[in-house]
Chains A and B, each alone.
Chain A
Amino acid sequence: MASTTFHKRAITAGIAALVLGLSACAGGDGDSTGDSTGDSGGGGGDLISVGFAQVGAESGWRTANTTSIKDALTQENGFDLKFSDAQQKQENQIQAIRSYIAQGVDYIAFSPVVESGWDAVLEEAKTANIPVILTDRAVDTEDESLYVTFIGSDFVEEGRRIGAYVSETLGTEPIKVVELQGTTGSAPAIDRKTGFEDATKDNPNVEIIASQTGNFTRAEGKTVMEGFLQAYPDIDVVYAHNDDMGLGAIEAIEAAGKVPGQDIKVVTIDGVKDGMQALADGKITYIVECNPLLGPDLADIIKTLDEGGTVEKRIVTKDEEFDQEAAIAALPDRQY
């Protein structure tokens, strides 16, 4: 008897939890649909509604990128920003874009988690007449009409620049390089690898002895570097596809009793604050910047398009390079 009532109670509680969860979801949906119908009902209204599907918050760079976009696309500037975080999963991002299409936003902008597999959902956006803007990362598609423009850094060029530095400055004697790749299949990982190999292939002194993914995160960068240090006792240079993996590698190098910057040189791409600090401290040797402050440019592009103007198919942001001195000089004004 006691157990039956207990059972019933359990079921009731379960149902209650489910209902609560469902109504919470419904509430969320209702709100957002309400917003967007309000906008489109106003015939373009005052605010331009923009759906932005971010990759995640996997690195300091990404956080700076998110902040920049949120700061630029504000209501005061005439935007109604709907923001979603895909937690580094393509399926989440596709889902977010589909929901933006369903809500009938005016523009969709996103940084694709990986390069391929976007044709179907972009086709849907095109059918719904919603212009798509790619930020920071490109997609791999035959049909270029699926997006309006791609704004971001040239990743191949970044890899090439860091490769040129390694080849010219460090590669005067034979050096062994290990590479910490970004997320497997992502545009920056593929391009930064290609660019680096391009720039170093003519220098016989530079030998890339190993390459493994650290998924753009500090923890995995450290784990992989620990393995590298075990497997290859004579590493001279670490090339990390972003600062965070480089910082993780520095932890691993220090833990192994070596001195980063002297025994093993670390070169990275990005230039976030923590990375610049490490560069100023001499732990990182060289950084090629990848500018995350895309928000203002994105706002400009959308404004131009909204007034009926046209924009270039590919807009390349300006990236700088830093050595220790430049980092010390730039650090006080660094926003991210």
Chain B
Amino acid sequence: MNALQTVVRHRLFWPLVALLVLVVASALKSPTFLEITVRDGHLFGGPIDILRRSSVLLLVALGMTLVIATRGIDLSVGAVMAIAGAVALTQIAAAPDPGSLTTVVSAIGAALVIALLIGLFNGFLVAVVGIQPIIATLVLMTAGRGIAMLITGGNITTVTSQPFKTLASGYWLSLPVAALIAGAFFVATALVTRRTALGVLIESVGINPSASRLAGVRARTIIWTVYVVCALFACVAGFIRSADTMAADANNIGLFIELDAILAVVIGGTSLAGGKFSLTGTLVGTLVITTLTLSITILGIPANAVSLFKALVVIAVCLLQSPVVQHRMRARRRRTAPVPVEVPA
């Protein structure tokens, strides 16, 4: 009984239930959904699709988790993705040999440098100038897309380059490369924040920046770092998204992804007020959102009702997670079926 209560009260219980419901509903509608088949030595199937398609959002949400843990927020991630795609693809398109590995590596390098500068700029505005994060990153959220448009000249730059395409559609060890990249970043972030003191330092800055500064934590450097990391992660996400269609669509790459990323972080139980963060929670949140998007097509939700359907699922998950609702539900349960010994959590 107590064990069950602990499980139900775990902050990831309801998101996981939502994930399960979506997967089961999709599997009922399309019985082959959960089937994983091997085709040309690659794995195919619904679960693999979810993993591959989660990669972009997971990368963005990971960076967002760290930023949110310092009481910040980064609205510019979508624009960074657009810039990353624009820089990388225009470079590849202009190169004499778009298919060569050196071209792709240098294009990716150039885009990463730009993302680094963007991260430094955001971090500078927040950590040094002291502008509120939502305003500071709003600058590049709006201006960034304009920059990406300038880079592509207002066109949708299309290229053919096998090495770059591998980022989104390639397979390694019969698993999608995109999912492997996102997985590697996840593990690396988890190791660096949880096996060293960095995670605790980030949390302390989020809980009380002044106190942590007085205690000897270099709050400014840490805030600066998380914005740079967030921009770099968004940049990698931008590569995968633009490699998906091999086109740099400055208007649409990563459009509104900042909202999905924030949602994934919140569903995962990290508070927007900063402080404690959970990377596993973010992973679960990301999977919920991706599965939700995929299930819309599978369940055959009419085009006009897509936004409503998404909103309803998200509201349901958030409500079930909210402490007030959980408390009320427990109180109701107590009234109807009184538990003899109530142990307060």
Contacts and interface: CB of A to CB of B under 8 A. Distances in A.
- Say whether A and B bind each other: yes
Interface string B237-267: 0000100111101111100000000000000
Given A63-B156, A212-B303, A251-B244, A231 B251 contact: no
B336 interface: no
A96 interface: no
B30 A231 contact: yes
A227 B303 contact: no
Contacts of B338: none
Interface stretch (B42-50, B66-74, B199-207): B42-50
B250 A57 contact: yes
Interface string A233-250: 100000000001001100
B245 A247 contact: yes
A198 to B, nearest CB: 19
A7 B132 CA distance: 12
A222 B298 contact: no
B245 A59 contact: no
B6 interface: no
Interface stretch (B32-40, B111-119, B184-192): B32-40
Contacts of A223: 53, 293, 297
B249 A219 contact: yes
B57 to A, nearest CB: 12
B297 A228 contact: yes
A10 B131 CA distance: 6
A9 B149 CA distance: 33
A231 B28 CA distance: 10
A219 B168 CA distance: 12
Contact of B32 (A222, A233, A255): A233
Chain B, interface residues (CB within 8 Å), range:
35 or more
A93 interface: no
A28 interface: no
Given A231-B298, A257-B42, A226 B53 contact: yes
B211 interface: no
Contacts of B32: 230, 233
Interface string A26-47: 0000000000000000000000
Contacts of A211: 303
A258 B26 CA distance: 22
A219 B130 contact: no
B306 interface: yes
Interface in B282-304: 293-294, 296-298, 300, 303-304
B333 interface: no
Nearest to B297: A227
A226 B53 CA distance: 10
A57 B241 CA distance: 18
B303 A184 contact: yes
Interface residues of A, number: 47
A219 B245 contact: yes
A230 B294 contact: yes
Between A9, A217, A227, the greatest number of chain B beta carbons within 10 A of the residue's beta carbon is seen for A227
B296 A66 contact: no
A257 B43 CA distance: 10
Contacts of B298: 227, 230-231
Contacts of B296: 212, 227
Interface in B142-173: 149, 154-156, 158, 169
A230 B33 contact: yes
A210 interface: yes
Contact of B253 (A219, A222, A233): A219
B129 interface: yes
Contact of A274 (B129, B158, B294): B158
20 contacts: A6-B130, A10-B130, A13-B129, A17-B131, A56-B251, A184-B304, A219-B253, A222-B244, A223-B297, A226-B49, A226-B297, A227-B298, A230-B26, A230-B297, A231-B30, A231-B298, A231-B300, A251-B169, A251-B246, A256-B44
Given A184-B304, A218-B247, A227-B297, 14 more contacts: A10-B131, A14-B131, A57-B250, A60-B155, A212-B296, A213-B303, A218-B249, A219-B249, A226-B49, A226-B297, A227-B298, A230-B26, A230-B46, A231-B33
Interface of A: 3, 6-7, 9-10, 13-14, 17, 56-60, 63, 66, 87-88, 181, 184-185, 210-213, 217-220, 222-224, 226-228, 230-233, 244, 247-248, 251, 254-257, 274
Q: Which 10 A-B pairs have the closest CB atoms?
A: A227-B297, A10-B130, A213-B303, A218-B245, A231-B298, A257-B39, A231-B30, A184-B303, A13-B129, A217-B252
